[in-house]
Amino acid sequence: MRISATATAATAVLGGALVLGLTAVPAAQATPRADAAGCTTDAFGIAGKYGEFVLGDDVHSPDAEGAVAVGGNADFRGGFSVANELSAAEVDALPGRTSLVVRGNLLNGGSVTAVMKGNAAVGGKVSDRALEMHSGSFGQNAGLIDFDAEFTKLRSYSSALAKEPATTGTEVELSGGKLTLEGGNTTRNVFKVTAGQLEQAKDIYLKVPAGATAVVNVSGETYDMAKAGTTGFFLSGGQGYVLDDKLQSASDGKVRARLLWNFPEARTVTKSSQAAWPGSVLAPGAHLELGTGAPVNGSVWVASLHGSGGAETHHFPFTGCLPEPGKTPPPTTPTPGNTPGTTPPVTGTPSTPASTPPASGTPSASPSESAPATPAPSQSTPGGKDGDLASTGSSGTIPLVIGTAAVLAAGTGLVVVARRRSKRA
């Protein structure tokens, strides 16, 4: 009975060691995965709350459905309205509940600048007609937003995001005038393309699992959509492709809301197309020429902007999951049924943009030639580089593995002692 009890005790110790080995190590590995689960949906801070966030001048008409913040002068002489599509919660989240911020002068001419929801703040002069406030108030304030500081962060983040490697399993294929981007990662898909590839694409197809974030890192200093005469952006969340427009989008807008076009090197980005451009555009060093065609169905963060006619910005704010500075979510397993290489059918037909006379204003001056801010050094990680979004490790598992081995050895020793005693008996 004594031998049996000792053997049982040894077995219990050994069993406990096995349990420790199976549970403790995954628990340590779960730390970076917890970071991944909590990766930020607010990567752009204050800028992310505005549909148009512009460092310099913004020459635009007829409207922006979201909030607008301009670090230079706002030339809205063709008539302009702001913030009509904001929810009450989105207004409350803005600095000072201010949906129109202009650090410089606001040029109205003989037209109306209507602020549909929220307050307005202008640092300089308001020419001719006063602002038309529908539910808020107007105040003189040139320092509500520190545009220089915010754009320093945007340039740094854009550069760091561009250094992310393409996600395993993503595919980029240019065939004739068709560019296809496909990825099966359920969390985040990073694509790498050149401006030259985009400029050859008459139609652009993007397919990722519904609810996944898609980041398209575009290299090159200039991008002109008019070179290929791009006519459509087709999105898929795993089902059929849908031509994106204001009233239709793949997976009820889930793909569009998590789509980011990143232009870290660009000095000019020219839309000038009859195709609605789905997703948000991060080009913190570039002048964005929207032309007179169709809208951007997302937010824009740019150095300067010009657009008129149907070239509006529609209120589809970016809600994708991006890494916080110093943290990169580990890859996830592609979703079954969303393997790159398959092409679902296309649904939807192109819409005709509204015929609206262009604004009388002229394009703003070229963005400042000051050098982009240098990305802040990342946390020290093996093999990491300054400016990268550092990946998290699981080095904490090593002590646990060693401890587990020690306990296993102790359990084995007890079993040996028990067997020796059994032979003596």
Interatomic CA distance for residues 385 and 58, integer angstroms = 36
Q: Which two tokens stand for residue 88?
A: 């009450």
The pLDDT score that the predictor gives to residue 272 is 78
Residues present in the chain in total? 425
Interatomic CA distance for residues 319 and 389, integer angstroms = 19
The pLDDT score that the predictor gives to residue 128 is 67
Residue pLDDT, tens place only, 362-386: 333 333 333 333 333 333 333 333 3
Interatomic CA distance for residues 277 and 285, integer angstroms = 19
Residue 135 burial class via C-beta count within 10 angstroms: exposed 0-12, middle 13-18, buried 19 and up:
middle
The pLDDT score that the predictor gives to residue 130 is 75
Percent of the residues in the chain that have a pLDDT greater than 90, as a whole number: 60
Query: What residues contact residue 51 under an 8 Å CB cut-off, 6+ apart?
Result: 64, 65, 66, 67, 68, 299, 300, 313, 314, 315, 317
**CA dist list (Å): 108 to 25, 227, 346:** 64, 33, 43
Interatomic CA distance for residues 290 and 147, integer angstroms = 22
- Most confident among 11-15, 207-211, 338-342, 353-357 (mean pLDDT): 207-211
Residue 399 burial class via C-beta count within 10 angstroms: exposed 0-12, middle 13-18, buried 19 and up:
exposed
Contact 128, 94 (CB under 8 A): no
Of 24-33, 129-138, 153-162, the range with the lowest mean pLDDT is 24-33
Residue 259 has pLDDT above 90, yes or no: yes
Residue pLDDT, tens place only, 297-356: 999 999 999 999 989 999 999 999 998 755 554 554 444 444 444 444 544 444 333 333
Q: What is the mean pLDDT of residues 7-24?
A: 32
- The band of 41, judged by pLDDT with boundaries at 50, 70 and 90, is confident
Q: What is the mean pLDDT of residues 236-245?
A: 94
- The band of 127, judged by pLDDT with boundaries at 50, 70 and 90, is confident
Of 6-20, 152-166, 255-269, the range with the lowest mean pLDDT is 6-20
The pLDDT score that the predictor gives to residue 40 is 82
Interatomic CA distance for residues 172 and 152, integer angstroms = 31
Of 226-230, 311-315, 393-397, the range with the lowest mean pLDDT is 393-397
- The band of 198, judged by pLDDT with boundaries at 50, 70 and 90, is very high
Give 221-255 as a DSSP string: SEEEGGGTT--EEEEESSSSEEE-BTTB-GGGGHH
